[in-house]
Amino acid sequence: MPLMYKILPRSEWDAFVASGTFLGSTVDLQDGYIHFSYAHQVGETSRKYFSGQPDLMIFAVEADNLGPSLKNEPSRGGDLFPHLYASLALAAVLWSKKLPLALDGTPALPSLDEV
């Protein structure tokens, strides 16, 4: 059962928790799906899109629990990334953590095998 991960600003996480449903971040809404990364992809995603951004959160979701609205589609370098073409219920989140920045400004990822 593969886990997938989403990084977002704390303000978006707080809104997700308050509403119980995540429709997506700004880029997700523009693209028409919620972007996720698998464990082998999340490091590059964090460096490419979130370096230098303080007050981030990361959360994990079980891919197999999202049904046919989850599609693995080619992205960076042809690698298949999980894209959710639906909203996400807070109940689907397995865990969440603050994502501090390392000294070089890149997000310091937690161990990704936690559930």
Q: By C-alpha distance, which of 67, 61, 33, 47 is closest to 107?
A: 47
Whole-angstrom distance, CA of residue 112 vs CA of residue 108 = 11
Taking 70 as the pLDDT cut, the residues of the chain under it are 1, 113-115
CATH of the domain at 39: 3.20.170.20
Residue 30 lies in a domain: yes
Residue 7 lies in a domain: yes
pLDDT value at residue 78: 84
pTM for the full predicted model = 0.91
Number of domains composing the chain = 1
